[in-house]
């Protein structure tokens, strides 16, 4: 009897195998695992808020799952002519870039209504001479456009796999679906950043800065911390514009923004306050840290140069600083006024220097004696006076 049961089982197994049901079952299990992975990864991606983190997450997944020899993302943010690139080679992030001209070639191809993802088919219509040598050298295999409300704004480029295997239909479906999620999320993040940044310098706007100042003062009060506020003005900027032109002035603003950003921490908030005036919010600092930073910024800007028709030009800045302390509970408007008064004092003291608005007992005692705030500043130390 047991032998008969075994024989029946073998017969049923062979019947299922011959009918293809077992193979189909294995295929369905594989598809189910692929679908589960897609659902899990899509859900995880939806929880990420910044574009950089999104790219880091999805790049890790693609590198783990597909092992491409080379993978790159080329992104053009709103209002910008520059192309942001994230490149990976042999499962690691690399600093090398693809020539930006390839972005324009690919964008033109897809905007003409083409939809092929295979690079060999793309070359048939465009011609290989439309792509740079460095692009062809990575042996691109698959191209995926990133599309948003305003059209195409980026591309993902995949080369052959390290294993030599071809991309399966399920893998291409996974990549396509993840990009459909990623495209919308990245564009939302970029448009949000566009709404809170100055188009010329890329720094935060006045409105964003004021909201951040409100948040910081609340945190300072709640957790008994201290923070700092800097107001910055370019010295004699009107004369510079009158002499060299407004295009040269724009170069100065852009160079200044980059120079100061390089000095600051990630958590510091630098904004273009208006015209040639900037403001910086510095969490977790004291008077020494604030004045030290002000001097670093002043020296960095004075050493930066812009090239205008062969002329190497530079500018200087004046800075006004004030501390944000929990003991005073000063409102943002008061803090801005103090920093502005310190800035005014720095400018009237010869420019190219920084001044710290007096804090604590010094100010209270002086005010009690009827001395004005500007007179109090006159008793304070001025740093970097030329």
Q: What is the CATH number of the domain that holds 295?
A: 3.30.70.270
pLDDT of residue 366: 42
Residues 293 and 372 in one domain: yes
pLDDT of residue 24: 63
Cα–Cα separations (whole angstroms), residue 261 to 157, 212, 273, 303, 371: 31, 17, 15, 15, 37
Domain boundary among 195, 230, 247: 195
Which residues fall within 8 angstroms of residue 340, CB to CB, at 6 or more apart?
231, 320
Q: Which structural domain range is residue 38 located in?
A: 23-195
Task: Give me the CATH number covering residue 184.
Answer: 3.30.450.40
Residues 43 and 126 in one domain: yes
Residues with pLDDT less than 70, the chain: 1-31, 359-383, 385-386
Q: Name the residue among 256, 242, 246, 226 with its Cα closest to residue 322.
A: 226
280 token code pair: 């910086």
pLDDT of residue 183: 85
Neighbouring C-beta atoms of residue 190, cutoff 10 Å: 21
């Amino acid at each position: 009897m047991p032998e008969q049961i075994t024989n029946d089982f073998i017969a049923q197994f062979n019947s299922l195998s011959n009918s293809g049901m077992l193979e189909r079952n294995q295929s369905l299990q594989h598809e189910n695992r692929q679908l589960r992975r897609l659902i899990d990864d899509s859900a995880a991606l939806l929880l990420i808020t910044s574009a950089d983190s999104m790219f880091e997450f999805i790049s890790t997944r693609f590198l783990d799952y597909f092992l491409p020899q080379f993978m790159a993302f080329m992104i053009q943010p709103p209002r910008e002519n520059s192309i942001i690139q994230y490149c990976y080679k042999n499962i690691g992030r690399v600093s090398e870039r693809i020539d930006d001209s390839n972005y324009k070639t690919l964008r033109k191809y897809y905007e003409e209504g083409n939809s092929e993802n295979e690079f060999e088919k793309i070359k048939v219509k465009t011609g290989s001479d439309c792509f740079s040598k460095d692009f062809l050298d990575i042996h691109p295999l698959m191209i995926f456009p990133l599309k948003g409300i305003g059209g195409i704004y980026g591309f993902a480029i995949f080369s052959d796999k390290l294993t030599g295997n071809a991309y399966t239909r399920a893998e291409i479906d996974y990549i396509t679906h993840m990009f459909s999620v990623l495209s919308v999320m990245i564009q939302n993040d970029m448009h949000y950043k566009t709404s809170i940044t100055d188009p010329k310098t890329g720094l935060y706007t006045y409105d964003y800065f004021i909201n951040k100042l409100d948040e910081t003062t609340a945190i300072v009060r709640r957790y008994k911390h201290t923070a700092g506020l800097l107001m910055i003005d370019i010295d004699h900027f009107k004369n510079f514009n009158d002499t060299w032109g407004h295009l040269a002035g724009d170069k100065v603003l852009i160079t200044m923004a980059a120079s100061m950003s390089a000095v600051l921490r990630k958590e510091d908030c630098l904004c273009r306050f208006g015209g040639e005036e900037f403001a910086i919010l510095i969490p977790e600092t004291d008077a020494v840290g604030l004045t030290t930073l002000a001097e670093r910024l002043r020296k960095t800007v004075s050493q930066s140069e812009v090239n205008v028709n062969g002329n190497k030009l530079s500018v200087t800045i004046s800075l006004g600083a004030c501390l944000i302390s929990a003991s005073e509970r000063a409102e943002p408007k008061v803090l801005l006024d103090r920093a502005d008064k310190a800035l005014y004092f720095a400018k009237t003291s010869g420019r190219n220097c920084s001044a710290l608005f007096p804090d604590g007992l010094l100010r209270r005692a002086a005010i009690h004696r009827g001395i004005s705030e500007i007179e109090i500043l006159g008793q304070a130390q001025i740093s970097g006076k030329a």
